[in-house]
Amino acid sequence: MSDYRHVTRRDFVRDGTLGALALGAGLTAAASAAPGGRDKSLVALVRDEKALDAANAVDKAILKKMLDETIKSVTGESSAAAGWKKIIKPDDVVGLVPTTAVNPTHPELVEAVREAVLEAGVAADRVQDVQRKKDLAAKCTALVSMPALKVHQLTGLGTVIKNYIMFSDNERSSYHMENNGNLGEVWNMPTAKGKTRLVLVDTLRPLFHGAERRPSPQYFWNYNGLLASTDPVAAETIGLTIIMAKRKEFKGETWELTPPPFCVEAADKKYKLGTSDPNKIALKVSGWEKDLLLST
Amino acid sequence: MAAVEEPTRLSAPAEVDGWKVVSAKGLEVTPKTIFDYMNGAGEMYLAYEFRGLQVWTYGGNEDTTITVEAFEMGAPEEAFGVLSRDFEGKDVKIGQRSAYVMGFLQFWQGRWYFRILGDLETAESRRAVLALGRAFAAQVPGEGKEPEILARLPSGGLVAKSVHYFHTQICLNAFYFFAVENLLQLTRQTNAVMADYRLGSESAKLLVIQYPKASDAAKARATFLKGYLPELPVSPDPIQIAQIENGEWVGLRLEQQFLALAFKSRSRDICERLLKAANLKRGGKKP
């Protein structure tokens, strides 16, 4: 499906694509827990039960360990330092792209990544937060996309693919509702094209419903995780699967995501940014296993 | 030409239960600046005749805050509609209807919709959130009417917290996705209500739309049939029902300027019963 203008619910029911997942009609194949081969995109998920305290404050030491483990897992290196050197080169101009709205990326995570990039040999004046700063982003040679996992009432999902929306010259509303399928085009615009070295999704406290400026607290939960991949679509697909499982757990029945996040499948099929096929994703999970919400 | 009415301004109490307002003036948001304040989420408020928003922050003894957002909508029905996006929570009898959960209070009163949210729920912050709610509700004189179309919903099996009132396609798609295209021809001039039903072990959704004219409703039925249920021809029968690929039934009933849809049901019988029970004749009954 590449043209979403005439799409109906019945199309999803018929073709069983990611839209079907968002509508609860279901993909049956789960991402495999096997190590990634050449034909599979590796997604690393690291969780720690104690990453957040009772007041939802981040334990920085635990977060640092989680980040190190995530980088080792996603790069296959034996140390986080070696892993970061595989991702970032000392002469890179690095842009960090956290989420700032609705469910902001935890600042402790942004700071931990900045420190890791500095330790990888990049000069301090070559590392900056470029979210909503298109001109600065355009000068970067490497981007680390680090959105927080969340739904969005106008795009279905508002995490990985949507994270670069501010790099577009188009009106934000041009990507809302059915047009969320076009979000992938921003990744192919000169500001971002080919620059994303790592997608690191803050899944410490995701948002599974509502997308107000200040969402209702009942729709956040402590998942205490970090999700990472060099394939943005694979990372988004796993995030979507977690969100749909949480929504089902909350309602006791399938709770459809509306509008359907066309952006996930379109990022794969139309914009060729990665894979949305669970059969082509290798998921590597480590740490806390309770309430994983994923079949591995 | 009628003069444009200025938005009303509420006053923030200086102190409630030991929580003090940070700035009495607060922040004012207009339809022009709503996207600066809340990004794309502003689209949903504009769909309910958003006129203005005032925001205040209250600070307590600890390093915690409570944020008060007071939305002025164009009419009481619109304020009800905004709240009806999500009734989840306990009705704590503040305003005309409220929902409180985990330190978050929302309610409607007259043409106002309020959101009051504490950083972290504690016994103290809960007391203050509720006290602030009562203080702001008291500033809104009188009550507003609920949308009349609610009376078109049959009462048997209705899940009260599932009722959504709205006008346009952007809202419909936020509650239930039928199609990218506006097959039901929703506009600012249409009134719509959607709700869940539980009848024994069966369930369904019912959507009732009121169009300005009977001919508008008939046109909407035709575009919906063509785009979503092409196996059903436009027929003189007021009720038409079909089964789709996943085994669910979808039914329509056309009655003057009303179009009702029953859907997301495994039971043809439930769809038909709901369509027949919808109060689409003149007057209608309160659910």
Q: Report chain A residues whose CB lies below 8 A from the CB of B115.
A: 212, 214
Per-residue pLDDT tens over the stretch A131-175: 999 999 999 999 999 999 999 988 899 999 999 999 998 888 888
Q: List, for residues B49-97, the tens digit of each pLDDT value.
A: 999 999 999 998 777 899 999 999 999 999 999 999 999 999 999 999 9
The CATH number of the domain where A141 resides is what? 3.40.50
Total domains in the fold of chain A: 1
CA B186 to chain centre: 15
CA-based nearest residue in chain A for residue B106: A216
Shortest Cα distance, chain B CAs vs residue A193, angstroms: 25
Q: Of B156, B152, B236, nearest to B199 (Cα)?
A: B156
| A295 is a domain residue | no
A130 closest CA partner among A178, A101, A166: A166
Q: Closest Cα of chain B to A158: distance in Å?
A: 11
In angstroms, rounded to a whole number, what is the distance separating the alpha carbons of residues B157 and B198? 5
The candidate with the shortest Cα–Cα distance to A188, out of A154, A158, A164, is A164
Interior CA angle at B156 toward B228 and B221, to 5°? 20
Strand partners for B118: B66
Q: What is the pLDDT of residue B30?
A: 96
Stronger pLDDT, A206 or A262, i.e. the higher one? A206
Cβ separation of A217 and B35 shorter than 8 Å?
Answer: no
Residue A2 lies in a domain: no
Q: What percent of chain A has pLDDT over 90?
A: 72
Whether residue A277 has pLDDT greater than 70 = yes
Does A292 fall in a domain? no
In a domain, A74, yes or no: yes
Shortest distance between the Cα of A244 and any Cα of chain B, in A, equals 15
Confidence category of residue B287, pLDDT binned at 50, 70, 90? very low
Query: Which residues are paired to A227 by β-bridges?
Result: A45, A201
Centroid of chain to Cα A266: 15
Cis peptide before A147 (omega within 30 of 0): no
Strand partners, A58: A52
How many Å lie between the alpha carbon of B116 and the closest alpha carbon of chain A? 10
Q: pLDDT class for B274, splitting at 50, 70, 90?
A: very high
Report yes or no on A30 lying in a domain: yes
> Per the domain annotation, does A157 fall within a domain?
yes
| Residue A37 or B195, more confident | B195
Residue given tokens 């019963």 in the structure block: B273
Q: How far is A2 from chain B (nearest CA, A)?
A: 13
Paired tokens of B130: 């509720």
| pLDDT at res. A19 | 60
Partner residue facing A8 (CB), from B43, B86, B227: B227
Rounded Cα gap, residues A193 and B194, in angstroms:
43
> Are B205 and B223 a contacting pair, CB within 8 Å?
no
Question: What pLDDT is stored for residue B283 in this prediction?
Answer: 61
Domain membership of residue A4 (yes or no) is no
Average pLDDT over residues B157-179: 94
Q: What are phi and psi of A53, to 5 degrees?
A: -90, -170
Q: Among all residues of chain A, which has the CA nearest to that of B68?
A: A214
* Proportion of chain A above pLDDT 70, given as a percent: 91
Question: Cα(B219)–Cα(B208) distance, rounded to whole angstroms?
Answer: 15
B-chain CB neighbours of A102 within 8 Å are 39, 41
Element (H, E) at B36: helix B34-38
pLDDT: which is higher, A48 or A253? A48
pLDDT higher at B124 or A21? B124
Residue A97 phi, psi (nearest 5): -125, 80
Of B180, B183, B245, the CB nearest to A178: B180
Q: Which helix (H) or strand (E) is B21 found in, with range?
A: strand B19-21
Confidence of residue B140 (pLDDT cuts 50, 70, 90): very high
B27 membership: H or E segment, kind and range: strand B27-29
Q: How confident is the model at residue B6 (pLDDT cuts 50, 70, 90)?
A: low
Q: Do B246 and A258 touch (CB under 8 A)?
A: no
- Chain B residues touching residue A173 (CB < 8 angstroms): 40, 43
Name the residue type at position A58. Answer: V
Range from B36-40, B263-267, B277-281 carrying the lowest mean pLDDT: B36-40
What is the per-residue pLDDT across B186-227, written as a single tens digit (0 to 9) for each? 999 999 999 999 999 999 999 999 999 999 999 999 999 999
**To the nearest whole angstrom, how far is the Cα of B286 from the nearest Cα of chain A?**
28
Segment holding B216, helix H or strand E: helix B214-228
Query: At CA A38, angle to CA A33 and CA A44, rounded to 5?
Result: 40
Residue A294 lies in a domain: no
Q: Which residues of B touch A (CB under 8 A)?
A: 35, 37-41, 43-44, 67, 69, 86, 88-89, 101-104, 106, 115, 117, 120-121, 169-170, 173-181, 183, 227-228, 244-246
- B258-265 vs B249-255, strand pairing mode: antiparallel
Give me the interface pTM, i.e. the ipTM. 0.87
pLDDT at A63 (0 to 100): 98
| pLDDT level of residue A6 (50, 70, 90 thresholds) | confident
CB atoms within 10 A of CB B152: 25
Instruction: Output phi, psi for B10, to 5 deg.
Output: -95, 165
The answer to whether B174 contacts A14, with C-beta atoms less than 8 Å apart, is no
Nearest-CA distance B228 → chain A (Å): 7
- Of A12-21, B157-166, B219-228, the one with minimum mean pLDDT is A12-21
A153:B41 CB<8 A? yes
DSSP B179: B
DSSP string, B49-78: TEEEEEEEEEE-SSS-EEEEEEEEESSHHH
Say how far apart CA B68 and CA B132 lie, in whole Å: 8
- Across A101-106, average pLDDT: 92
Residues from chain B contacting residue A217 (CB–CB below 8 Å): 101-104, 117, 121
What is the b/e burial string over A2-19, where b = at least 16 CB atoms within 10 angstroms of the residue's CB? eebeebbbbbbbeeebbb
Contacts of B37 in chain A (CB under 8 A): 213
**Which pLDDT does position A32 carry in this prediction?**
54
How many CB pairs (< 8 A) connect A and B? Answer: 104
> Which domains, from first to last, does chain B contain?
15-137 (3.40.1000), 148-277 (3.40.1000)
Token pair 């989840």 is at which residue?
B88
What Rg, from alpha-carbon coordinates, does chain B have? 21
Note every long-range contact of B86-92, with CB atoms under 8 Å and residues 24 or more positions apart, other chains counting: B86/A210, B86/A216, B87/B160, B87/B161, B87/B162, B87/B163, B88/A216, B88/A218, B88/B161, B89/A216, B89/A218, B92/B130, B92/B133
For residue A119, give every residue at least 6 positions away whose Cβ sits within 8 Å of its Cβ, in sequence order, or none.
A81, A84
Nearest CB among B67, B69, B103 relative to A217 is that of B103
C-alpha–C-alpha distance, residues B132 and A231, integer Å: 47
Q: What is the 3-state secondary structure (H, E, C) of chain A?
A: CCCCCCCEHHHHHHHCCHHHHHCCCCCCCCCECCCCCCCCEEEEEEECCCCECCCCCECHHHHHHHHHHHHHHHHCCCCHHHHHHHHCCCCCCEEEEECCCCCCCCHHHHHHHHHHHHHCCCCHHHEEECCCCHHHHHHCCEEEEECEEEEECCCEECCCHHHHHHHCCCCHHHHCHHHHHHHHHHHCCCCCCCCEEEEEEEEEEEECCCCCCCCCHHHECCCCEEEEECCHHHHHHHHHHHHHHHHHHHHCCCCCCCCCCHHHHHHHHCCCCCCCCHHHEEEEEEECCCCCCCCC
- Give the DSSP H/E element, type plus range, for residue B215: helix B214-228
Percent of chain B with pLDDT over 90: 83
Range of the domain at A29: 9-287
* Cα B218 from Cα B224, distance rounded (Å): 10
Q: Which residues of A touch B179 (CB under 8 A)?
A: 6-9
Q: How far does B174 lie from chain A, in Å, by closest CA?
A: 5
CB contact under 8 Å between A258 and B175, yes or no, is yes
**pLDDT at residue A16, rounded to an integer:** 61
Residues of A with CB under 8 A from a CB of B: 4-10, 13-14, 23, 25, 55-56, 101-102, 152-155, 172-173, 176-178, 210-214, 216-218, 256, 258-260
